[in-house]
Structures are given as structure tokens and as C-alpha cells.
Structure 1
């Protein structure tokens, strides 16, 4: 049985061929994703694996806060990635371009975040999420649109196209239906921190447990979105105290009818604040 995924909320990608950045990325984020896939040029992948192994000699990173993104199943690089991983203490893996439940079985013994970023991956998201070693689900916008023959995941106003929103919702629903965590895709417009904050706030409100980042400057913004305001925490505590006092399933509070789902929203707010719920 794999432990629930608890890293987050800000997960920071770091190219695995840049060992001088490993420690900085870990220090600046809630968890670092050492990337063997898209962030590393094909000719540099052997050096990336060597860099991760050599870094272990200096103490390595905390395995509880480290994820390794491997290349897609069926590629030679995937096999070489696994050979390298076996020599490390890192046991949380992000599988790039996950497309079927069977692929997850190639990572038996690892806790896997399935990155669904192709049409097949989105269509099979529920089956992938149901695999026992899947601990989290993430979606990827740009690779998805590329797999569809599209041009861009976003409209001119910066918002996602309908097909991207469908994929985002599909992965979120599949993850939560299987009791797994959901991770929102990266925000590629690095200077647009306001846009990142708005998208991160939507991720929180929608139920994503974490968001991936591609630059250290994005981490604080994601954390801000996931950290409830003091007034929201106070309101949640007051509401839950009122629920205890009411002692019934449905009650009135400040002119509003309160039932189970509203109380769960309040409990989620307290969890994000690091406080125990009722």
C-alpha cells in the first residue's frame, strides 16, 4: 500500500542535468521534481542520470520531498532512467505521457504521479488513477494540444481553450474519484505572476492539491494561493464550532442554511492552514 501523496502545494521542476540547481530548487519549494524528460536535451540525458547519482555522494536530497520525472514507458530512456533510479533513495516518480494503466505496472515498487498529457492519457485517466501505485495525477496542457495537432492550449486572453479545460477537469475528477491527489499543470508565462495567482486560486477552489512550477519565482505565488487568509480561517473555525453547538445535520448560521458540503469546505480551509478540523 502506497502512502498518500502529501508534497506541495508548490512543486518545482529542475532539469536533472543542472546539479548546481538541485539544492536551491529544493530549498525554494515544497518538493523538487528532478526532470529526466522534456527539460533535458536528448544528448544530455546520460549526463543527467550521472548528475543525480553523483549528487548522492554529497548527501542527496530529501526523498520525502523529491520526485523524479522519467521518460515515457516504451522508450530506451525510460529503461535507463529506471536503472539509475534503482541506485537512489528516490521512490516517488512522475511518469511522463502516461497513457494506460498497464504502463503504471512497469513502475511497481514506486509511488507514481501519472502525468496525462496526450489524448490517450486523458481518455484513460480513470483507469490510470485506479492503479494501486498511482498516488497522484497531473495533466499537461501543451503536450496535450501537440498530441491533438493543435497550436496552443490558451486563447488570446490567456484562458484555456475548451479542450484543455475538459482535460484539466477529467484528470481532477479521475484522481479524486480514486482517492488520489490531483496536481495542476504549469503556468508557462513566467513574468505573469498575476495570471499565475488567479489560476492557482482557481486550482485551490476546484480541488487540486498542488500546482507545478517551472521557475522559483512562481513558488511564493502558488503558496499564497494555497494559504487561506486569516479571516477565512477564522470564519471556518467559527462555522465548525457552530456546527458542534447545533448538533444537527442542517442548521442556520448567519442567515444561511449550512449542511455537510459547506462544513467540508470549512474543514478543507483549516487543513490548508495547517490546523486541525473539528
Structure 2
């Protein structure tokens, strides 16, 4: 059974399109480009002079989304800033209820717990995504993934991380940090989203980085332009052959340790097969 996007687990959401909150005419492009999720951005993509207008635009859009809407996330400004405080206060007092709320510069479990409690008291169902984009955020990873209020996912922010480390915004200089984020997320079964690829003209570079991040353990990748979505989906969407093989593996696994195509099938192999089906938006048969 293939689930509607609005009911899919976060692992099935492979491509996430960032769109400035000031560009409401572009919100629909995420669905048109076949992105799995839309991210409305109130932070880096919005100038300080436009923050108030952007906030009103974003919350107005989120307040009237139909039940079958594309999964939608709102990135607010950091709650420990004036703009972030205003973003959060406005969200809590509005009818808007995004599917996900991205907390930038996340570096503590207590912040996730505080925001989660406020959302709950306001009757919001939004799940929190922790954006890890600073050295302090990396230091706090174990606390964040093991806290009482776990985020629904970790999102790796390459540009701010590189700036914080004084490193180049490229794959190799940030590989250790990416690996550290993957390890932390995997230790508690939290979904993991990778940073956008910032050269929108370099399709081959996007493809190679998406393949590399998937090989490392990331479940999804963000985009900053609709033209990047097709490449991300192509790389991350399991093929029909992979789906068929995953189903065969689970059938064999139900009988205990066995083999398929001369390869041993045990619980570790079955776990990977379940992940393939989940990424494809398919409910594994019990």
C-alpha cells in the first residue's frame, strides 16, 4: 500500500524545497516540481526589514491549507532572538499549524522541550526539526537526540556550519561533521535531512552530493530551487527493483535466517529492507 504524502512517515519525504516567506506566489511550486515537502523560510531568506510582512504571509498561508496539502515546514528565526520570539508568539496565537517547525541554530534539548510544550499548549501538532549548523550544536548532539523531547528529525546546515568552523562549504571539509550528525541520529532512530546544494546550475554536482549523503545515511535532502527537485528524487527514490527485492527479503526473513540470490538474509538485512519500503512511502506488510 502506498500512503498519501500527508500520511507518510518523515522518512518517505526525500526532497524538501526552501521557499522565502516573502514569495507566496512560489509556495505552489514545490508541488508543481514534485517536491515531497515545502519549507517556508522566515530566517535567512528574509531581510530584517521584511520579517513582519513575511511572518504574516507565511501564517496566513498555513492557516488555510487543505487536509491533503503537501507536507509543509516553517523555519522560524532562532527563538533566542527578537525575530524568533516574535515568530513563535505569532504562530502560537494564530490558527496556523505547520506539519513541521524548524528550529535554527539548535544547540540544546531544553529549547526543543520548551518549544514543544508551547506548541502543545496552543493545540499545535507541528513536529520539531532541529537544525544543526554550529559547533555548539554538534557538541549538544547526544543531549538533543536523547532528551525527553526528541525532534522528529535533524537537519544539517552546511553553510552556517562551514562559517562557524572557518571551513570551506564543500563535501570533504564537512564530512566529519556530517558523519557525526548521522551517527547521533541513527543512535536513536531519528530521521536525517541534508543541507541544500548551493550551486543551482551544477546538476551533476548535486547528483553526486545527494548520492554521497544517501550513502552516508541521510534520508532526505533540501533544495533551494525547484529545478533541483527532480535530481534529488531520482537519486533518493528506491527503484521498482529495489522495492521488489526489499519485499522478497522480508518474506524470507519471516522464516528466520535464510538466503536470497545467494546472499544471506538476517535481521540486519531485513532492517535495511524495511527502510527501503519506508523511503518509498510503502507500508511494510506485517
Q: TM-score range by the shorter chain?
A: 0.7 to 0.9
Find 1:143's aligned residue among 148, 156, 160. Answer: 160
Q: Partner of 1:68: helix, strand, or coil?
A: strand
Q: Say whether 1:103 aligns with 2:101.
A: no
Note if contact 2:12-2:281 (Cα within 8 Å) is conserved in structure 1.
no
Shifted more, 24-33 versus 61-70: the winner is: 61-70
Counterparts of 1:113-124 in structure 2 under 5 Å?
113-124=129-140
2:278 and 2:62 mapped to 1: Cα distance? 34
Note if contact 2:40-2:73 (Cα within 8 Å) is conserved in structure 1.
yes
Q: Say whether 1:258 aligns with 2:268.
A: no
2:271 and 2:114 mapped to 1: Cα distance? 37
1:272 and 1:56 mapped to 2: Cα distance? 26
Q: Say whether 1:73 aligns with 2:79.
A: yes
Q: Paired residue for 2:15? A: 10
User: Taking structure 1 as the reference length, what is the TM-score of the superposition?
Assistant: 0.85
Q: Partner of 1:161: helix, strand, or coil?
A: helix
CA shift in 2, pair 1:45/1:203, >3 Å? same
Note if contact 1:95-1:115 (Cα within 8 Å) is conserved in structure 2.
yes
Counterparts of 1:1-278 in structure 2 under 5 Å?
5=10, 8-28=13-33, 29-55=35-61, 59-60=64-65, 65-86=71-92, 87=94, 88-90=96-98, 92-108=100-116, 109=119, 110-131=126-147, 132-150=149-167, 152-154=168-170, 160-162=171-173, 164-244=174-254, 247-249=255-257, 251-278=258-285
1:254 and 1:26 mapped to 2: Cα distance? 39
Query: Post-superposition shift, 1:54?
Result: 3.9
1:111 and 1:243 mapped to 2: Cα distance? 33
CA shift in 2, pair 1:149/1:67, >3 Å? same
User: Taking structure 2 as the reference length, what is the TM-score of the superposition?
Assistant: 0.83
CA shift in 2, pair 1:181/1:41, >3 Å? same
1:173 and 1:182 mapped to 2: Cα distance? 10
CA shift in 2, pair 1:23/1:275, >3 Å? closer
2:107 and 2:279 mapped to 1: Cα distance? 31
Note if contact 1:111-1:133 (Cα within 8 Å) is conserved in structure 2.
no
Note if contact 1:4-1:135 (Cα within 8 Å) is conserved in structure 2.
no
1:40 and 1:61 mapped to 2: Cα distance? 26
Unaligned runs of 5+ in 1: 155-159
Q: Paired residue for 2:4? A: none
CA RMSD of aligned residues (A): 2.4
Q: Partner of 1:13: helix, strand, or coil?
A: strand
2:270 and 2:49 mapped to 1: Cα distance? 53
Q: Paired residue for 1:157? A: none
CA shift in 2, pair 1:111/1:55, >3 Å? closer
Q: Paired residue for 2:122? A: none
Q: Partner of 2:218: helix, strand, or coil?
A: coil
2:102 and 2:159 mapped to 1: Cα distance? 17
Query: Post-superposition shift, 1:234?
Result: 3.0
RCO comparison, higher one (Cα < 8 Å, 6+) = 2
Note if contact 1:129-1:175 (Cα within 8 Å) is conserved in structure 2.
yes
